[in-house]
Structure formats: structure tokens, C-alpha cells
Amino acid sequence: MYSLTINRIVDDADYDLAVCKARKDISMQLSMQPGLELRQQLKQILTPLMIQSLKILNLPYQELTAKVQQESEENIVVDIEQQDALLSYLRDSGSSITRLRSPSEEHFNYLDKVASNGGSLYDHLMVQLELEYLEEPDFSIANKIIENINDRGFLEGFPDLKVQLMKDFNVAENRIKSLLSVVQSFEPAGVGARNVKESLLLQIQSYSFEDDDLKETLDMIVTDYLEELARKDYETIAMELSIDEEDVERAAEFIENNLSPVPAESFLNNNGEVNVIPSFEIRKEGDSYVFINLEKEKGIKIRFNQKYLDLFQAPDTDEKTKEFIREKINNAKKLIDMISRRNEMMDKVGNILVERQKDYFDKGIHFLMPIYQKEIAEQVEVHSSTISRAIASKYIATPSGILPLKYLCPRQVSGVAVERVKYIIRDIVDQNQSFSDLKIAQKLEEFAIYIKRRTVAKYRSSIKLPSSFKRGDKK
């Protein structure tokens, strides 16, 4: 009943409004049916239409293109309106995507490799490591961990590596495990896992679920029932977890459609070579930055085949043929609507990121601002889980190189490195000559840097900046 309600609403209205309405209806029903909450919530969240829509939103560009091409081959009412021109665009306009190097980025070596040739998986992981601002020896330890990640995204030989790192850097085991967790938070989701089970759990963790019960159920299935899941023994799983078998089937479908047993799969092409294609571009035009949805402008496009639409509407077409065409039209309409919704979502998110990260594009990596996914979700008026899926497994060409999209909206800028603080203090003083150390400390809070006035004074002195009394009257 709940699935039918959602499907009907989704055909005629906004997807997220449908989810909210369905959840409200279910909550009213559940108030009269104690003890059914977990089962009903799983059914509501994991309807086939929702799974399909979330999958389209979450897909990397290469997989989205393959999905569209497959649909055009299998669905007679779907025609290719525009072939994929993104790859040729990237080849022909490389100069427009070259990085605008900033002096403050001189220590970030791997950005150049990624910007110039797409970089290897190792290069992309190292870019993300550099964004963590780790001090030594943590940076070197994390680097060694990354060096032992294979092309498929799995960490090899960690027990021996851990012992060697503890010896070489004279650190405790917990320190190594903590740095492994840092690497495992990188894009692509699931990278750095030691086995398939751990990779799937990391991918689940990377999602922002609307419902904790759903996440807990997926965690339990992956942790304890992978073998039963592979055999499709849903009855055993349902019995042991005390949920409906139908819920297990939907959870299995979610795992199949949204998680990958090979974490770096979307990062590789068929030859095993790195094939990162940015879906978006941030281009500088004058003093401003513009977000460009390359998928929408240069990507593959589909349309309805007019011949079959006319046949469907013709009065002499028999009912059996009409029913067949009707099903194909509905499938095509859903796909077109989902792609349109994906583009609308990415345009909204991209423009927010351009506005919020202008200092980063102008001044370099030290000025990357923390932006919570929940904050973006509130502006776009969707759930934070939708934002999580929208930014996952996608890359963007920026003035600082080709980066995972999610690194333009970090939950926080980790590790308040002294170097980063000094760069920002210098910039604050350059723009506000009369700022006292207290006001500088207050300004630093905008960058998620919380240090005391006396620490500001210490860093300011180390970069040979005079006090506010010598720079002018305090404001």
C-alpha cells in the first residue's frame, strides 16, 4: 500500500515531497500498530522506485552513460538525442581546465599530477591526504598505508605493515589504526578496506541514511549474513533478524544497486587504467567563478521515439500493443525524470559550493571551508542523505585540479596545521590592517579554527607581522 502511494505521488510531484508525505502517512498508521516500525520503515524507504532514483543520483558519470545506452538498446521508445561528448570536450579543451596555481599551494605536490593527466588512484588518495593537514609522522604513516592499496582499492598485508610502521615510526598500534580510519574515509567509498565485507561496511557508513534502523539492518546483514545473502537465503536472514523476508529482499537490492564489492571499480576502465571523468567544472570568468554541469551540457541525452508515441495514440492500435508501448513509455519517463532531477540537484549543490568556496579558489588550499552536508540539504530543502548520494563518486574540474566533489564540502577541515593557520592569519591582516589578535581569533572561527588570542599572537610574531598597535588604530 505504501509503495503504491509513493509511486503515484512521484509520477506527479517532487520526489522529496513524496518521501515526506509517505513517511507522515506511515507514522500515522504505525501509531495504531505497535511493534511494526522497523518493518514498515524498511518498506517505505526501500521501494523499487526509490532505489532506482537514488541509484541514478549516486551513479558516477561513466555508469550513468552506460545505463542510458543500455536503456536505449532495450527500450523501443527511447532514442539517443545527443551522444556522449564529454570525453572529447575534455580532450579538446584541456587548457580551460588547467589549474590556476596559487603560491599557498606550493607544498601540495599531488594536485599537479591529478590536474595534468587525471592522476593514478594513488595520486587521488594523496590529494585527499594532503587536504587532511596531518603533521609528521602521521602524514608519512598514512602515505605508507596508501602505498599498499592495490588498483582495486583494497589494502594489502596490513598486519605486517602495521608491525613495520610501529617499529619505523615508534608509535602505538592505536595510532596506526586511527590513521587507517582516516584513509578509509577517502573517495572512492570503501577504499582502504582489507576485505570485501569491510569495504561494504565502509560504503554503508559513507551514506547519510534517513533512518538509523535501515543502516543498522544493512550493517547486520553485511556483517553476519554475507554468505546467506550470496545464496539468496532471505528466509534465514529474515527469521534471525525478526523482519519480513520482503524487507530482506529490498535490503539486498539496495546493497546490489548502491554498493560495490570492488571499491575502486568506478575509478578504473576495462584495461585497469585510471579513468576519472569530471562531471562538473568550476571556471573562472573575470573575478567570478561559474559552476558548469558538464553532464547536462556535454553528456548523453535521450528522448522519446515519436514513431512509437504516434502508434500508441493511434485509434486502430490493438490493446496488447498499446499496453506494451505504455510500459516502455513509463520506464522511459521515469529515467528521463530521474536524470532531470539529478541535474537540478547538482546545479543547486554546485552553485552553493562555488559561493562558499570562493576563498579557496582565489587563495588556495589553506582556505578550504568546512561545509556540512546538512547545511547544504537545508538550503536545497532535501534530506542530508540525498546530498550524500549526490556528491558521492563524482569528480569536478576546479582551478585547483580535478578533485572528488565531496572535498569541496568537507564536514570539517581536519588537523588545524600551523602552516594553514599562519597563511590565513596573514591574509586576515592583509585585508584588515587594524585587527587586534582577539579579532583575528574571532575571524579564524569562520574557518573552523578555534585558537586563543595568545596563540594568534605567537603565530603572528613567527611570520613577522607587527601587532595592531604598530599597524594602526584598533577597530
| Contact predicate 291/354, CB 8 Å | yes
**Residue position matching grid coordinates 558519470:** 61
Interval 108-140: pLDDT, tens: 555 555 544 455 788 778 877 876 767 789 989
Res 141: pLDDT: 95
In 63-84, which positions are buried (b, 16+ CB within 10 angstroms) versus exposed (e)? Answer: bbbebbbebbeebbbbbeeeeb
Using 50 as the pLDDT threshold, list the residues of the chain that sit under it: 1-45, 95-107, 115-117, 270-274, 473-475
pTM for the whole thing?
0.64
Q: From the CB of residue 327, how many other CB atoms can be counted at a distance below 10 Å?
A: 12
What's residue 208's pLDDT?
Answer: 64
Residue 351 has a pLDDT of 92
Instruction: Identify the H or E element spanning 302.
Output: strand 301-304
Q: For domain 418-471, give the fold.
A: Arc Repressor Mutant, subunit A (1.10.10)
pLDDT in tens, 353-381: 888 888 888 877 777 777 878 888 899 88
The pLDDT assigned to 110 comes to 52
| Radius of gyration, CA atoms only, the chain | 25
268: left (phi over 0), alpha (psi -120 to 50) or beta: beta
Please report the pLDDT score of residue 46 as a whole number. 53
For CATH 1.10.10.60, list the domain ranges present in the chain: 418-471
pLDDT, position 224: 92
